[in-house]
Amino acid sequence: MELSDNLIREFRPSKKVVVLTGAGISAESGIPTFRGEDGLWKRYRVEELATPYAFQTNPKLVWEWYDWRRGIIAEAEPNPGHTAIAEMEQIFPDFFLITQNVDGLHRRAGNSEIIEIHGNLWQLRCVKEGTVRENYHVPLLDIPPTCECGALLRPHVVWFGESLDKEDLARSYNVIGECDLLLVVGTSAVVQPVASFPLMAKRRGAFLVEVNKEPTPISSLVDESLIGKAGEVLPALLGLIKEAYRGRQ
C-alpha cells in the first residue's frame, strides 16, 4: 500500500478533521462483532437480546449476556489504530471522533473529543430517573443491577428499535457538515443514519478517506480508499503526516 503525497497534503493541521469508526477497528483488538452465526450466545441472537422488549421481558437474561460481553471487552486493549486516532486529536486543533462502537476503547486510547453514537457498555442508565453512571465491575456485582431508587439499570446503549440520542445526532450532523476531511475506519456505514454521514460530508465538499480490510459499498464514493488493517494503515499515515508538517505548526 502506498500513501500518496496528495493524501498527506489533505491532512494539513489547519483542516477540520472528523474520524468515523466502526466494528472493524475493534475486531483488530480481538473483540467479536457479536453478530451472525459466530455471535450466538446460549442459542440467542443479538437481535433477540438487544431490544427494549427483551429487557422488559427478561432483564436478567439480557444482563447475563451484557455481563459476558463486558468480560470479553475488559480483556481487550486499544490497538495501534486506536492509538493513532488518539494522536490525531493532539495534532489537529479542530478534530472530532464519531464511533459506532460501544466498547470504550477509543476513550482508553486517549480520545476525548468523541461522540459514542451508539452508547457505551461501561455506562448504566436508570430506567426510571434516566441518570447515567459508569460501572466497570467485571463480573457485575448484581444481575440485574439496580439504581438507588430501586429501579432497574440498563446498558446505556442504543438497542434495536430505539432512536439515537438527539443531542449526539445533532452534534454529529454539525461536525460532519463542517469538516474538511472525513476519515472512515472499519465501517462500510450501511446502517442509517450513520450511513448518510459520508455522503453528507461529500456533498459539502469534504475530502473522504476510507480505511478497511476490503472494499465496501462506500469505496466508490471516497477520494482515497486504503485497503488494509487500521492498526497498520493508520500508524503509517500518522507517521507521514507528522514528518510532513513537523516544525510548520
Active site residues: 118
User: Do the beta carbons of residue 186 and residue 230 sit within 8 Å?
Assistant: yes
Strand bridging mode 119-126 / 153-157: antiparallel
- Taking the alpha carbons at both ends of the chain, their separation in whole angstroms is 28
Query: Cα angle at 162 between 160 and 168, to 5 degrees?
Result: 115
Q: How far apart are CA 25 and CA 31, in angstroms?
A: 9
239 DSSP assignment: H
Single-letter amino acid code for the residue at 219: S
CA dist list (Å): 47 to 26, 43, 54, 57, 200: 20, 12, 9, 14, 29
Q: Indicate the helix (H) or strand (E) that contains 181.
A: strand 181-185
Record the cell numbers describing residue 94, joined without a space.
479542530
CA 37 to chain centre: 22
Q: Let me know the angle formed at the C-alpha of 174 by 205 and 118, rounded to the nearest 5 degrees.
A: 115
How far apart, in whole angstroms, are the C-alpha atoms of residue 11 and residue 16? 9
Residue type, 135: N
Strand partners, 157: 119
